[in-house]
C-alpha cells in the first residue's frame, strides 16, 4: 500500500492555460511522424549494445590475427563500456543545450570513423583507441533517444513508446552474439566492423535529411542564453559529469541500483554462456552459441511493449482514483512481476538446470529460462526508464545518461568477476547469488521507492517535474 500522504498530494491538474499550452507541445508531430522518430531513435539506441555484443564472439579470432591473447583483447569490452558511459554523459549534456539532432549528427560520424579504424587495426593499441572512438560515437543513442521520447510523447503515452524503444535496445545484446559469431566463423571480424561503419553511415544520412529537432521550442539552453555570450567558432564547453550529481536523489539512485541488479542477471547468464550452457550441452560452434542468445532477445521484444503499455495503464488508473493527482512512482508498479518473479527465478532455474539436468531437456529448459529473463528484465527497465523521463522531464536525457553511466561503471567491474566466480565456485552458486541480489536490491529498492516515493523526493529535490510541465 502507498502511504496516506499520497492521497493528499496536491499536484495540480492540467487545467490552467499554461498547462493547455504544454499539451499542445505534444501535437507538433503527427502520429506517423512520431512513429518515424521512434523508429529512428530505436535504431540508434540499439547500436551501443549491438556493437559490444558482436565484438565478444570475435575475440579469439582478433587475438589470433593481432598476435595477442584473448584476455588482452577482451579489455576492449570494458573499455567500450567506459567509453559508452562517457559518451552518454557528453551527448545528453549537449543535447539539453543544443538539442537532440546536433548530437546525433556528431556521434554517428564518430561511430563510422571508429568502425573503420577497428577494422583496419594491425595491433592492440590502435584497436583499443578506435574501439573507444566507436563506442563514444554510438553511446548517445540510448540516453538521447530516451529524451526524444519524452519530447514527443505525453505522460500517458510515454510508457508504451519506451517499451518499443527498449524492445529494440535490448534486442542488441541478444542478436549481436549470433551475428558476431556467424561473421567470425564464416567470414571475418574485419568485414563485420566495416559493416557496422556502413550501418552508422546510413543512420547519419537518415538523421541528416529526415530527422527533425524534437526538443520543446524555446526550452534549449541555447535558446535561453544571451547570444553575445556564446562562442562564435566552437561549441560552448559543458561539464559532462554534471548530470551525475542527480544521483544524490534517493529516488533516482534506488531505481538505478534496482535496474543494475536486474540487468546484471542478464550478463550472468549470457557472458559465460559458452562456458556454462555451451560446455554442458556440447555446443562449440560460435554461430550456434550465438543462437542460444536469441530466446533472451525474443523475451525483450515481447516484454518491453507489454511492460510499457502496462505502466501507462497503471498511471492512468491510479491518477483517476486520486482525482487527478499524479504520483510518479505509480509507474514503477509495472516492474513488480519482473523484479519479484521472472528475473530471480529464471537465473536461479538456469543455474540448477545447467548443473543437474543433462541432454536436450536441460538445454530446452535453459532456453526457456533465457526467454523468461529477457521478458523480466524489460519489465523492470522499460517502466523504470519511463519513470526517469517522467520525474526529470526537462533534463530527461541527462537523467538517463547519469543512471546509465553510474550503472555501467559498477557493471563493468562486476562482469569481470563472473567467469572467475563460475570457475571457482560453480554455476549454481554464481546464479543463486545473482538471484538473491535481484530480489534484495532489484525488487527491494523498487518496493521502497513505490512505498515511500514522495518522502524520498522530499529528501533531495534535483528539479523534479510536475504534472503541469510533464
Question: DSSP state, 235?
Answer: P
Residues in the chain: 470
- Give pLDDT tens digits along the chain (470 positions): 444 444 444 444 444 555 556 678 888 999 999 999 999 999 898 888 788 778 877 777 888 888 887 768 777 777 887 888 888 899 999 999 999 999 999 999 999 999 999 999 999 899 999 999 999 999 888 889 989 999 999 888 899 898 888 888 877 776 777 787 777 777 888 988 999 999 999 999 999 999 999 998 888 888 888 888 888 778 888 888 889 999 999 999 999 999 999 999 988 998 788 789 988 999 877 678 778 888 988 898 889 889 999 999 999 999 999 888 899 999 999 999 999 999 999 999 999 999 999 999 999 999 999 999 999 998 999 999 889 989 998 788 899 889 988 888 888 788 778 888 998 999 999 999 999 999 999 999 999 999 999 999 999 999 898 877 77
Q: Of 175, 232, 239, which is closest to residue 47 (Cα–Cα)?
A: 175
Q: Of 395, 401, 450, 379, which is closest to residue 150 (Cα–Cα)?
A: 395
Rounded to whole angstroms, what are the CA distances from 191 to 58, 174, 196, 212, 283?
Answer: 11, 20, 9, 32, 25
pLDDT of residue 6: 42
pLDDT of residue 428: 96
Domain ranges of the chain: 30-215+243-469
Q: How many CA atoms lie within 13 A of 20 on its CB side?
A: 3
Give me the phi and psi of 67, to 5 degrees please.
Answer: 55, 50
* CB proximity list for 310: less than 8 A, separation 6 or greater: 159, 334, 383
pLDDT of residue 12: 45
pLDDT of residue 15: 47
- Enter the C-alpha cell of residue 397: 536525457
pLDDT of residue 82: 82
The three-state secondary structure class of 360 is helix
What's the predicted TM-score (pTM) here? 0.81
Fold entry, domain 30-215+243-469: Growth Hormone; Chain: A; (1.20.1250)
Amino acid at each position: 500500500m502507498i502511504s496516506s500522504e499520497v492521497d493528499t498530494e496536491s499536484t495540480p491538474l492540467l487545467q490552467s492555460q499554461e498547462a493547455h499550452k504544454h499539451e499542445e507541445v505534444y501535437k507538433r508531430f503527427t502520429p506517423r511522424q512520431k512513429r518515424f522518430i521512434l523508429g529512428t531513435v530505436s535504431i540508434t539506441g540499439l547500436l551501443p549494445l549491438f556493437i559490444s555484443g558482436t565484438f565478444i564472439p570475435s575475440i579469439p579470432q582478433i587475438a589470433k590475427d593481432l598476435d595477442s591473447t584473448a584476455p588482452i583483447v577482451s579489455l576492449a569490452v570494458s573499455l567500450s563500456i567506459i567509453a559508452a558511459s562517457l559518451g552518454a554523459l557528453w551527448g545528453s549534456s549537449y543535447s539539453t543545450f543544443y538539442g537532440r539532432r546536433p548530437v546525433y549528427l556528431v556521434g554517428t560520424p564518430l561511430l563510422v570513423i571508429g568502425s573503420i579504424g577497428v577494422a583496419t587495426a594491425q595491433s592492440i593499441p590502435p584497436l583499443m583507441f578506435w574501439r573507444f572512438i566507436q563506442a563514444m560515437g554510438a553511446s548517445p543513442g540510448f540516453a538521447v533517444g530516451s529524451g526524444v521520447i519524452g519530447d514527443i510523447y505525453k505522460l500517458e503515452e510515454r510508457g508504451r513508446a519506451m517499451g518499443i524503444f527498449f524492445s529494440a535496445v535490448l534486442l542488441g545484446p541478444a542478436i549481436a552474439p549470433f551475428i558476431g559469431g556467424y561473421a567470425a566463423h564464416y567470414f571475418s571480424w574485419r568485414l563485420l566492423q566495416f559493416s557496422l561503419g556502413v550501418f552508422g553511415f546510413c543512420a547519419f544520412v537518415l538523421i541528416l535529411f529526415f530527422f527533425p529537432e524534437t526538443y520543446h521550442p524555446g526550452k534549449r539552453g541555447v535558446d535561453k542564453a544571451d547570444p553575445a555570450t556564446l562562442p562564435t567558432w566552437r561549441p560552448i564547453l559543458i561539464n559532462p559529469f554534471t548530470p551525475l550529481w542527480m544521483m544524490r536523489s534517493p529516488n533516482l539512485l534506488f531505481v538505478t541500483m534496482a535496474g543494475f541488479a536486474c540487468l546484471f542477471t542478464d550478463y550472468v547468464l549470457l557472458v559465460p554462456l559458452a562456458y556454462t550452457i555451451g560446455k554442458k550441452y556440447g555446443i562449440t560452434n560460435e554461430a550456434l552459441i550465438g543462437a542460444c542468445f536469441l530466446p533472451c532477445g525474443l523475451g525483450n521484444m515481447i516484454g518491453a511493449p507489454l511492460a510499457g503499455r502496462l505502466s501507462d495503464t497503471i498511471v492512468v488508473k491510479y491518477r483517476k482514483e486520486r482525482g487527478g493527482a499524479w504520483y510518479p512512482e505509480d509507474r514503477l508498479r509495472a516492474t513488480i512481476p519482473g523484479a519479484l518473479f521472472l528475473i530471480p527465478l529464471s537465473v536461479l532455474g538456469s543455474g540448477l538446470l545447467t548443473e543437474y539436468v543433462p541432454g536436450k531437456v536441460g538445454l530446452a529448459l535453459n532456453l526457456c529460462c533465457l526467454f523468461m529473463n529477457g521478458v523480466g528484465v524489460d519489465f523492470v527497465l522499460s517502466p523504470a526508464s519511463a519513470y526517469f523521463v517522467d520525474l526529470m522531464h526537462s533534463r530527461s536525457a541527462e537523467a538517463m545518461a547519469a543512471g546509465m553511466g553510474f550503472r555501467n561503471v559498477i557493471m563493468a567491474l562486476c562482469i569481470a568477476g563472473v567467469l572467475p566466480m563460475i570457475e571457482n565456485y560453480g554455476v549454481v552458486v554464481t546464479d543463486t547469488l545473482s538471484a538473491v541480489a535481484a530480489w534484495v536490491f532489484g525488487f527491494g529498492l523498487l518496493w521502497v521507492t513505490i512505498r515511500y516515493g514522495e518522502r524520498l523526493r522530499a529528501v533531495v529535490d534535483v528539479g523534479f517535474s510536475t504534472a503541469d510541465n510533464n
